[in-house]
Amino acid sequence: MTKTLILTVAVAVLTTNAHAAIEAARINEHVITSEQFSARYADQLRAVGPAGISKKEVLEDMIRKEVAVQEAKKMKLDQDQAVQDRLNSVLFYAYIERKLGPDFERLGVTDSDAKAWYEKNPEIRTSHVFLGLSAEPSPEELKKVEARMSEIAKEIKSDKISFAEAAQRYSEDPSGPMGGDLDFRTKDRLDPTYYQAALKLGRPLEVSGIVRTAFGLHLIRLTGKRDWKETDRTRIKRLILEEKRENLVAKHLSDLRAKSKVSVNQELLR
């Protein structure tokens, strides 16, 4: 072997060793590398500060978790459907963050954009009378509750009872004792069907017809709309950004679905 070849081999070996992973700990056959440990310790420092945790505590926590994970695999918990569903949920959000994160960073909302959005989606104050329904009510249950709500609506319309009194007497919502008052709420804090029905009420204190949401039946009274100058503009901009992110995700997933072979058992949807 020539001197040149020997030197080349020696350099290669030294380079390989220099880049070989340094063990921070070994648990059976699993290795926690120094790089993994350093990354975890840096994360903990950002979370609690140097006075809050030591390197020994971080490494010991990693070891304990690895021991438990190895035991879980021996029990084949990684093959359990519920565990796989949770893992898939984590993977889904990790994928969205990795794939669309740069797009999220570029999103922005100007004051004029926020004001225009708020004019269509104001913060509103409502009161309601509420009767609950089960998640999938039978026709008999739905008919019974609708009849009961119709009776309440007639009492209010004929002035036999005020809206607030009806809420106090009949409503199955915690707001009942307060006359059904839900105070001011932004769009994200109300059921979408409820919110849109409330916005359609034109006259002050006008009462809606019977509105069905995912929770049950409502009679809704719109009692106020907060002016743009009075609302929390920072919160409104945050809502708009969340809406933009949701739209980005929805479009991306629709595009992915269009590229995939999807078959649906329509019998199960009937």
Residue 16 is predicted with a pLDDT of: 43
Mean pLDDT score, 46-70: 90
Residue 14 is predicted with a pLDDT of: 39
Would the pLDDT of 10 be above 50?
no
Question: Which DSSP string corresponds to 51-115?
Answer: TT--HHHHHHHHHHHHHHHHHHHHTTGGG-HHHHHHHHHHHHHHHHHHHHHHHHHH----HHHHH
Residue 127: both structure tokens together: 């009161």
Residue 52 is predicted with a pLDDT of: 80
Mean pLDDT of the chain: 91
Give the least confident one: 5-9, 33-37, 51-55, 101-105: 5-9
How far is 194 from 210, CA to CA, in rounded Å?
A: 10
Mean pLDDT score, 57-72: 95
Residue 3 pLDDT grade (very low, low, confident, very high; cuts 50, 70, 90): very low
Mean pLDDT score, 48-54: 81
How far is 145 from 134, CA to CA, in rounded Å?
A: 11
Q: pTM value? A: 0.72
Residue 174 pLDDT grade (very low, low, confident, very high; cuts 50, 70, 90): very high
User: Crossing angle of helices 55-74/34-48, nearest 10°?
Assistant: 120
How far is 179 from 163, CA to CA, in rounded Å?
A: 7
How far is 200 from 125, CA to CA, in rounded Å?
A: 13
Residue 195 is predicted with a pLDDT of: 97
Q: For residue 158, which amino acid is it?
A: S
User: Crossing angle of helices 163-170/139-157, nearest 10°?
Assistant: 140
pLDDT in tens, 114-173: 999 999 999 999 999 999 999 999 999 999 999 999 999 999 999 999 999 999 999 999
